[in-house]
Structure formats: structure tokens, C-alpha cells
Amino acid sequence: MIIRRPLAGGCLLALAAALTMSGAPPVSADDGGAAEPPKVELVLDVSGSMRARDIDGLSRIAVAQRSFGEVVDALPAETQLGIRVLGSQYRFPGSPKSVGCRDTRQIAPVGPVNKAEAKAAIATLRPTGWTPIGLALRAAARDLGAGETTRRIVLITDGEDTCSPPDPCDVARELAAQGTHLVVDTLGLTLDAKVRQQLTCIADATGGTYTAVQHQQDLTGRLNQLVQRAGTTYKRTPHKVEGGAGCADAPVLSPGVYTDRERFGEHRWYRVVVAPGQELRASVSVALDRRLNPDYGVLLRAVSKDGQELVRGTDAGSGRTDVLSTGLRWSDQRKDGADATASPSPDGGTGGDPVCMVVSNSFSAPGAVRAAAPGMPVELTVDLVPSSDAPGGPDLGRGWLLLVVLTATGLVAGLIIGWLARWRIAVWKEN
């Protein structure tokens, strides 16, 4: 049976490093849930280039304003949203660059949203200034603050940073290195190669995604998706783990949610100790954060310690999607009296054997797309539950009663029809 789950893009984050040495205690991703609500800040470029009318016959700023309004209307009640803009006050080229490159301000603080006020503030924006993306990202990180749950920044822009330093890609690496559970997703309103390169770098550094937008409907859908993702993943912050090159050196994982990165054509190995009477349930989601060649796939396999494949799950795609997800279930059906409460084994398990899981892919990309480090974001979910007994063979259960009734009915009906036929023949002969 295959278990499919969303990414919960997703949500693939840079967090604390996990143990990977063979024989070490299992990596723990214990989470007791989060008391704080999900937090996300939308960062909108309002620089002069946003006046260009090349999206569905509208200006880029008009498209962004419409999408923002729809996203605010659909905002989940528990999500705390903030809105920050850049390039909205100091006119380009009228003001000195030194002044314009400090132009970023928060027009809605991170918190419960007054939807009417937020939409009104967005509607009054007019494109005027420069593009200090790096400065705006630093400010947005401060707006969101620190905490144990994931925060998201969604950057919408149509151009490169015109105010470096600070370089926005360096800022993204700086934020990721702080370990503040911060993800930056980027949306580009132009297909310019330099813009795409910069926005991809920002997203890659923080475990986020980059999306090129060419229509207003695409922008609205993607914004809604990212805001919703913040609300569905914040309670379980993935722990960073590094898969091994083979089963022998793979990290031992306990139940939880983990994040890793996998390069094209790479295999990432992990181990889970499954005791008799337990069922392993695992799923993997790979975020497709760059353009791929058609016909790609993800494979998740569970393998025994002697190399025998136990079960597999696959997912494949042929076009540009956000995520590939697949899963598997496997239980140890040995009847030796052991159960999930057995004493721990030397490698940190519960008296069972290690099951090796391997994530592999069939990705390839056009020549202009980076296929090496840091790899595609991977989110792996592991759980152990009491297993159900495997059926011993086909069993009709209460269906046997129905079968008996149908057989008896058929027999009686056959006798009656036969008797009527003989009676009609006898009557016909007499006449």
C-alpha cells in the first residue's frame, strides 16, 4: 500500500545537524507540537520597474496587488501575516541612491490580520524606487523574530537587487546559518536569466523554492499555496539529517520528520529499527526547486540488512510540478512474542532489526540549470505503529452465509422452473 503525502514543502528547512555514525543512538525528531501560531511575511517589490505592463495586459504591480488581496481574503485564521515592501517611497531616478537603497518598510506587522486594512494598504502602493532586496530580507527576518517553529518569507520581485551590498544571496546564507528556522520562497515576475539566478540562490540557501510567474492566476495560486504551507507544517519542524552512501553508514532514525538534500542520480540511505509487532510507515517528498527535463521520478525503498527489497513506493512526473511524494508501509510479522515495548537494542532500537530505507531519483536538467550542490530539498517522515495481523489467506467472512442463501435459492428456482416446463409439455401433448 502506498501512502502519499504533500510536501509539506515542503517545507524543507535548515536545522540542527543529526548523528550519522554507525552504532550511534537514533536521530530524534521528537516534537510535542508548537504553542505559537504559524508566521509568514510577504515581501513585495514596489520599485519603478513594477510599472511594466507585461502580465495579462496589466502592470506587474496591479497583478501583485490583486493577488495579495485574494490571498489576504483566504488567509487561515490561525496564521499570523506581515507585509513588507521595498522601493515604495523614494523615487527612482529622482532621489539619491544612498537614500533609495534604505527604502524598505513594514506596512502590516506580523500578527492577526485586519483584512480590510491590509488590502487598503496594498492597494495604495505605487512603484517608484530602487530594489534593496538584501536589506528587505534582513528586516523581514527581524519582523518574524525567533522561535522553535518555522517562519516563512515570500519574496515577490521583478528584478535584481540594485543596492548591493548587502548581496541578497549572501543575506540568505547568513539567515540560514543563524539556525532560526527561516525559509525564503521567491517568486519572479520576469523570465530574465539574472533575476532567476539570484532568486534561485536565495531560495536554495534557505531550503525554499523559486517560481517564475507569467500570469496573475499563477501568482495567486502560488502565494496561496505557500501561505497555506506555512500553516500546515509549522507544528512539526523537520530536523536536518545527512543520509549515508550505503546502509552500513546510514543514520538511525527515530519516528519524526527530517530534511535532507539529494543531488541528481544520488542515493540517500537511512536506517530504522523495526521490532516484531511494529509497522514502519515512511514517506518522502522532494521539492522540485529548479527546471527539470521531462519524465522524472522518485523512488523510496525499504531493504533488509542482507539487501533484500521489502517494499517500494514511486512517484513520477513529466512536467513542472512543485513536489513529488511517495511512501511505503512494512511490518515485521514474526511471532516471537516481541512487541513495541521490548528493551532497547545496542543501536538504539527496540529489540528489532534495522530496516534500510533508500531515496533515489531519476532527475536530469537542461544544460543551463545547476544539477550539482546543494541538491534537491528532501523531506522524510518516519513513524512506527503497532502492526495488524497479515491475513492467512482468502476469507469470505460473513459472505459464506450469502453464498449459501444464493445457492439454495438457485436450487429451488431450478426445481420450480423444471416442474413448470414438464407441466406445460404434458398439457400440450394432451391437447
pLDDT band at residue 276 under the 50/70/90 scheme: confident
Q: Which residue has the cell 534561485?
A: 200
Torsion on CA atoms 377, 199, 373, 209, rounded to nearest 10: 10
Query: Which of 164-173, 237-246, 342-351 has the lowest average pLDDT?
Result: 342-351
Tell whether 427 is covered by a domain: no
Residue 314 within any structural domain of the chain:
yes
Answer yes or no: do 67 and 202 share one domain: yes
CA diameter of the chain: 120
| Domain final position from 208, 233, 258 | 233
**pLDDT at residue number 14:** 31
pTM for this predicted structure: 0.55
Q: Are residue 279 and residue 212 in the same domain, yes or no? A: no
Residue 292 lies in a domain: yes
C-beta neighbour count of 172 within 10 angstroms:
29
Determine, yes or no, domain membership for 166.
Answer: yes
Number of domains in the chain: 2
For position 43, which CATH number holds?
3.40.50.410
Pair (79, 195) in one structural domain:
yes
* 200 and 328 within one domain: no
Poorest-confidence range of 25-29, 211-215, 312-316? 25-29
Ramachandran angles phi, psi of 198, nearest 5°: -70, -45
| Residue 422, domain member (yes or no) | no
Closest to 244 in 3D by CA, of 21, 3, 17, 11: 21
314 vs 375: which has the higher pLDDT: 314
Position 364 scores a pLDDT of: 85
Task: Return contacts of 54-63, CB within 8 angstroms, 24+ apart.
Answer: 55/189, 55/213, 55/214, 55/215, 55/216, 56/215, 56/216, 58/216, 59/127, 60/127, 60/158, 60/189, 61/125, 61/126, 61/127, 63/189, 63/216, 63/219
Q: Domain check: are 171 and 100 in the same one?
A: yes
Which is higher by pLDDT, 406 or 35? Answer: 406
The pLDDT score that the predictor gives to residue 293 is 82
Same domain, 260 and 346: yes
Band (pLDDT 50/70/90 cuts) for residue 397 is: low
Within-domain flag for 428: no
Length of the chain equals 431
Would 417 be classed as within a structural domain?
no
Tell me, yes or no, whether 90 and 188 share the same domain: yes
Terminal CA-CA length for the chain: 68
Residue 2 has pLDDT above 70, yes or no: no
Q: Are residues 315 and 274 in the same domain?
A: yes
Evaluate whether 12 touches 237 at the Cβ level (below 8 Å): no
| Of residues 386 and 81, more confidently modeled | 81
- Pair (100, 66) in one structural domain: yes
Among the candidates 233, 264, 295, a domain finishes at: 233
What domain range includes position 335?
A: 239-386
Cell of 236: 512539526
Distance, CA of 408 to CA of 390 (rounded, Å): 33
pLDDT single digits (tens) 21-50: 334 445 555 544 445 788 899 999 999 889
- State the CATH number of the domain containing residue 314: 2.60.120.680
Check whether residue 355 and residue 311 sit in a common domain. Answer: yes
With respect to residue 424, please indicate whether it lies within any of the assigned structural domains: no
My answer on whether 216 and 252 are in the same domain is no
Alpha-carbon Rg for the chain, nearest whole angstrom, is 29
Q: Are residues 276 and 331 in the same domain?
A: yes
